[in-house]
Structure 1
Amino acid sequence: MQEYIKNSIHLFLFSFLVVSLSFCSAPTETAVETETVSEEAPKEEEKQKTILFFGNSLTAGYGIDADDSFAGLTQKRLDSLGLDYRVINGGLSGETTAGGLSRLDWFLEDQPEIFILELGGNDGLRGIEITETKSNLLDIIDKVQTKYPETKIILAGMQIPPNMGQEYASGFTKIYPSVAEETGVTLIPFLLENVGGIPELNLPDGIHPTEEGHQIVFETIWPYIKEKIGA
């Protein structure tokens, strides 16, 4: 009888131990499952691509509504085609190539898909040394290419009237194809093609395009942008 009671006690203790171990192991499985779920982080949303126009009063749309400038018209065309791009207008009236170089870093906090450089006109009107203008343009492009090698760059060529002499005007015009060749960027030969020097397409100052003038400038620029985005 004592032996029977002893065996019963042993059996009871063994059963209690098995049940206890089962309860102890359960939380471990739950913890592992919870940990696995927490490791699945939500996918980061893809950032909207940007097109940055970096220039002077021509880019800013001096004298007209910014939405009617060639930069604003670019945004409208992109929207009408259902293309998810955001246009940034980095135009500043009176800006020179030196000024543009000094403020460029602020615009390069995020990577632009396309960078359109429209500077130099004010340099020419002020008679700034051609070598200085060219050097600044090269430095601006180098900064963009160094920080964002994948960014596509378009350089807008410019011409000036011969107020500073024909030799200076001719030398100025040659800056842009020279810079484009040295850096490998895409060149628009003359931004104001079919607009510059035409009174009815410019404001009374004879320098800044009217809304109609900006529409023509936009049509000059658009094929280059279209090619870069594959539209």
Structure 2
Amino acid sequence: MKFLHLPLAALLGLALTACNAGPTAEKPAAAEAPAANAPAATPATKKRLLFFGNSLTAGYGVEPEQAFAGLIGQKIDSLGLPYEVINAGLSGETTAGGRSRVGWILKQPVDIFVLELGGNDGLRGLPLSATRENLQGIIDTVRRRSPGAQIVLAGMQIPPNMGQSYAKDFKALYQEMAIKNHLVLIPFLLAGVGGDRALNQADGIHPTPAGHRIVARTVWAVLQPLLVPKS
């Protein structure tokens, strides 16, 4: 199984050093990259599992193979499942940025699309209406480009820095989107990791390798039933 980590920061010039908990201007929409730079076609014998997210998916501060997406790829490889795993995480990504680049990412169809975005919106206190609209735009694009794809939505929670009401509504947004769009939901991506200093890097946001192992188990519990064994 070939695990790909797309060099999106270099291609699109969108990467930030890390998730920023303070307010910041949203990034301009990315220009569509030339077709020649699009992800390589997957061999016909393999399905495509794509992780689309921010620095949590990208594995900020750890090696690619230590991030939860890389660990999922290793698990799939060890089981001999016919999937190519692609990590399309981009540090600093907001839902607006994700919406602007998802069409380019989906120049090749996918079979499973794991959507992990919104955390940076919440940390910056962006309007939930905009986050909801952008997530819906991403979901709609996936369904247009890959009609048969199974979409998995990774739920996120934030500390009450922006107020208890905002944090509560932010948490509920993911379940609402999952129900509305008939998505598979990971209730909270960082379950058992978020808020635990021993499992997070010094910034208190990004998991350590040990934290990513727990995240990988959380994700695997949801993904495993969706994976088709080799025929």
Give the Cα–Cα distance (whole angstroms) in 2 for the partners of residues 185 and 193 of structure 1. Answer: 19
Aligned length: 187
Runs of 4+ aligned residues of structure 1 deviating over 3 Å after TM superposition are none
Question: Is 1:117 paired with 2:115?
Answer: yes
Give the Cα–Cα distance (whole angstroms) in 1 for the partners of residues 60 and 162 of structure 2. Answer: 24
Aligned pairs (5 A) from 1:64-79 = 64-79=62-77
What secondary structure, in the 3-state scheme, does the structure 1 residue paired with 2:96 have?
helix
RMSD of aligned Cα (Å): 1.0
- Normalization by structure 1: what TM-score? 0.79
Aligned position for 1:131: 129
What secondary structure, in the 3-state scheme, does the structure 2 residue paired with 1:187 have?
strand
Aligned position for 1:197: 195
- Normalization by structure 2: what TM-score? 0.79
Deviation at 1:147, TM superposition (A): 2.1
Question: Is 1:83 paired with 2:81?
Answer: yes
Structure 2 letter corresponding to 1:67: E
Give the Cα–Cα distance (whole angstroms) in 2 for the partners of residues 82 and 172 of structure 1. Answer: 38
Unmatched tracts of structure 2, length 5 or more: 1-42
Give the Cα–Cα distance (whole angstroms) in 1 for the partners of residues 143 and 101 of structure 2. Answer: 16
Residue from 179, 182, 185 that aligns with 1:184: 182
Aligned pairs (5 A) from 1:1-231 = 46-231=44-229
Deviation at 1:160, TM superposition (A): 0.2
What secondary structure, in the 3-state scheme, does the structure 2 residue paired with 1:93 have?
coil
Give the Cα–Cα distance (whole angstroms) in 2 for the partners of residues 161 and 112 of structure 1. Answer: 33
Unmatched tracts of structure 1, length 5 or more: 1-44
Q: Larger relative contact order (C-alpha < 8 A, sep ≥ 6)? A: 2
Structure 2 letter corresponding to 1:106: W
**1:12-48 deviation per Cα after TM superposition (whole angstroms, max 9, x unaligned):** xxxxxxxxxxxxxxxxxxxxxxxxxxxxxxxxx7242
